[in-house]
Amino acid sequence: MLDFLHPQSLIPAGARPVITRFAPAPTGYLHLGHVLNAFYVWSIARASGRDARVLLRIEDHDRARSRPEFEAALLEDLNWLGFTADGEVTRQSERGALYERALDSLRKRGLTYACECSRSEIGAGPYPGTCRSKNLQEAAGRGVRVRLDPSTERFDDLRLGPQEQRPVEQSGDVLVRDRDGNWTYQFAVVVDDWLQGVNLVIRGEDLLDSTGRQIQLARLLRRHPPPRFFHHELLMKSATQKLSKSDGDTGVRDLRAKGWTADAVIQRAVSSAISRLQLRK
Ligand SMILES: [Zn+2]
């Protein structure tokens, strides 16, 4: 189905067999945006060789927003759609000890520091490094950050081509654990991809901006080489508005209830996206 993308040529020889993942957050129900992502993940994996693996990871690092009933629904809908993962389902909520160990390896090399800034103090921009040289002790009510280096990250996105990003300017020092003790998405994902051997990350292009930061975090954790990335187009409600859970007619559950078949749901997701695809020659 994805012949036009020539997945074999997309995957560099060093990255075989392909290990990729589908990683939903159980903070809502599956919608067409997830279906499009799942379609890419499974299609590229299957087309890249019989030994490719798709891991299913439940990204429930946000303990306040994750709910077991959403996880159960996600698993059930994926199964109904026919997307079958390889191996056991993993949950970020069960991997705290691994994140702690990864944090410790950074801490021992002096790459982390405690941060007492609140979200409102930092605002929307990059973290300005307020606590970088305060030498605060880690404590309850304080976050932990990683010192980024000022390097420019260069990578070749498998769909979008060569990219250049400067994480230190985009985000500033990355938060690893927040003031409430939650592991952050950025850190958990990098540690998980590393420990699970994920060598190809297939995700929506709304996450392109965080790629350089994740590559740098992987390097600081001494993962070499970092995973490769394929960022696909997003399903849009209009030219400028992302599709969201609150839009009607996009939830897999709703479409199922209206009598749609799994194939029809997948086709709806893919055809809306492909009409926007700009193919690279
Ligand atoms: Zn701070």
Q: Note whether 214 and 186 are within 8 A (CB).
A: yes
Cα 143 to middle of ligand 1, angstroms: 8
Cα 129 to middle of ligand 1, angstroms: 6
User: How far apart are alpha carbons 98 and 94 in whole angstroms?
Assistant: 9
Cα 219 to middle of ligand 1, angstroms: 23
Cα 117 to middle of ligand 1, angstroms: 4
Amino acid at 43: S
Cα 131 to middle of ligand 1, angstroms: 4
Instruction: List CB-based neighbours of ion ligand 1 within 5 Å.
Output: 115, 117, 130-131
Distance from the Cα of residue 269 to its chain's centroid: 19
SS3 label, residue 162: strand
DSSP-H helix ranges across 114-184? 119-122, 167-170
Half-sphere exposure of 163 (CA within 13 A, CB side): 23
User: How far apart are alpha carbons 242 and 281 in whole angstroms?
Assistant: 27
pLDDT score at 278: 47
Cα 181 to middle of ligand 1, angstroms: 15
Cα 223 to middle of ligand 1, angstroms: 27
Cα 99 to middle of ligand 1, angstroms: 21
Torsion of CA 102, 207, 245, 119, to 10 degrees: 60
Q: Note whether 221 and 194 are within 8 A (CB).
A: yes
Cα 126 to middle of ligand 1, angstroms: 12
Strands (E), 65-136: 90-91, 112-115
In this prediction, the residues of the chain whose per-residue pLDDT falls under 70 are: 1-15, 237-249, 274-281
Cα 229 to middle of ligand 1, angstroms: 31
CA angle (80, 23, 36) in 5-degree steps: 60
Quickly count: other Cβ atoms within 10 Å of residue 6's Cβ: 10
Strands (E), 6-116: 19-22, 53-58, 90-91, 112-115
User: How far apart are alpha carbons 103 and 144 in whole angstroms?
Assistant: 9
CA–CA distances in Å: residue 183 to residues 95, 186, 209: 10, 9, 20
CA–CA distances in Å: residue 157 to residues 11, 122, 186, 192, 231: 11, 31, 18, 20, 7
Strands (E), 95-199: 112-115, 143-146, 153-157, 161-165, 174-177
pLDDT score at 276: 58
Distance from the Cα of residue 14 to its chain's centroid: 22
- Characterize 67-102 residue by residue with b for buried, 16 or more Cβ atoms within 10 angstroms of its Cβ, and e for exposed: eeebbebbbebbeebebebeeeebbbbebeebbeeb
Cα 103 to middle of ligand 1, angstroms: 17
Cα 204 to middle of ligand 1, angstroms: 30
Cα 115 to middle of ligand 1, angstroms: 4
Cα 199 to middle of ligand 1, angstroms: 33
